[in-house]
Chain A
């Protein structure tokens, strides 16, 4: 029988230490799977799962909840997606504010706050992102997850070297396989993001959606910032909305979806269905390459000294407000954009308007903050 030598004892010690570190890390990783609390308004008609439209999604981390607000008065149907990229919190929080405040007087509204639900369970490697952030409300803090741009690698591993978009054959970097906004129109037997994309396309078709929004954010140095991107058939609608927003003192660039860039919501939704697709972007410093400390404060206040310096130097084109790009401002821009597009739609189609109520105005969000329009968390049971 071999006797234990000194190096065996050190091996056991190091292994034990590794297991303790793995356990600590595992606890944090597993906490990211806890669902975010969303408290719907009284106007909610029903909630359900995307797998109702795409049964292949059932039981997967792509099966995300939807919230339906049905006025029961005839009118158009609208879909709003947040969380297509879970590291773009203004899109997600704007839809949470909608779910918690919306009432619909005419027509119907579907809201999907976490379109890429899988991506909320992991952060982006090497970016140093916080795993969650909290928003103060009138009574306690609401905590939300800050995820990754794409699906959790546990739901799709390994990434291919080259992502082949179907059916176009377009080739992109392999990690775009996990990007929902490169996966449309999707497939029922494809990757998890293709299946989610297929579910959203089925929802658009089944519910005869007329207007559809996809809410995003991007780094201040990306050219398409503070922009409304529309499919060419929604060009007039987008133009009217941008003019309405100008009257409110909000500047948005109107961009037309490129016809040869495939897999994006504003291209494939419009090509595949009768829907008018609109994607909106705000300026989010935490995604930028110039950013400094990457913490919760940068998500909430959006103040970064390096972007302030870049703004003063003026040697590069950035969309950065000297007072910061706060979450309230970014959420306010998304909601103002949706309201402006709906107003423009109602001007174009006055016989069948969509009437929304309860959404906070841009100025209200700026003055009172996002937390004023989120329901307080339920008290913790002793």
Chain B
């Protein structure tokens, strides 16, 4: 059960990061946010 709670938390964090990525106007910060997407996505998809 705790496992799936953590997956849901990762999903919420991914959604927040995605929202910031779209709103952010500085490209360097957008790049940093895009990099953060990678591990969150891999964990939510149960790949890593």
Contact = CB atoms under 8 A, between A and B. Distances in A.
A160 to B, nearest CB: 9
Contacts of A21: 38
B23 to A, nearest CB: 8
B11 to A, nearest CB: 14
A158 B31 contact: no
Interface size class of B (residues with CB under 8 A): 20 to 34
A122 to B, nearest CB: 7
A14 interface: yes
A11 B48 contact: no
Contact of A29 (B22, B25, B30, B48): B48
Contacts of A10: 27, 30
Interface in B4-48: 6, 18, 21-22, 24-25, 27, 30-31, 33-35, 37-38, 41-42, 45-48
B interface, over-half SS: helix
Contact of A122 (B27, B34, B37, B48): B48
B45 A26 contact: yes
A75 B35 CA distance: 60
Interface string A28-57: 011000000000000000000000000000
Contacts of B24: 7, 11
Contacts of A156: 3
Contacts of A19: 41
A157 interface: yes
B32 to A, nearest CB: 9
B34 A17 contact: yes
A15 interface: yes
Interface string A94-126: 000000000000000000000000000010000
Interface of B: 2-3, 6, 18, 21-22, 24-25, 27, 30-31, 33-35, 37-38, 41-42, 45-48
